[in-house]
Structure 1
Amino acid sequence: MRLVVDLNRCQGFAQCVFLAPDVFALHGDEALLFSPRFDEAHRDRVEKAAAACPVQAILVDYSDEPTKGVEPHVG
Structure 2
Amino acid sequence: MHITIDEGKCCGAGQCVLVAPDVFDQRDDDGVVILLDAEPGEDQHAVAREAAAVCPAAAILVDE
TM over 0.5: yes
- Which of residues 38, 41, 56 in structure 2 aligns to 1:39? 41
How many residue pairs get aligned? The number is 62
More helix by share: 2
Gaps of 5+ in 2: none
Distance 2:31 2:19 in 1: 17
Gaps of 5+ in 1: 63-75
SS where residue 51 of structure 1 aligns? helix
CA RMSD for the aligned pairs?
Answer: 1.0
Distance 1:12 1:27 in 2: 9
Q: Percent identity?
A: 39
Q: TM-score w.r.t. structure 2 length? A: 0.88
Amino acid at match of 1:52: V
- Which of residues 48, 57, 60 in structure 2 aligns to 1:58? 60
Verify the 8 A CA contact 2:11 2:32 in the aligned structure 1: no
**Match of 2:9?**
9
Q: Which protein is bigger by CA-based radius of gyration?
A: 1
**Match of 1:65?**
none
1:10-59 CA-to-partner distances (Å, cap 9, x unmatched) read 11111000000000011204232112111110011011100000011111
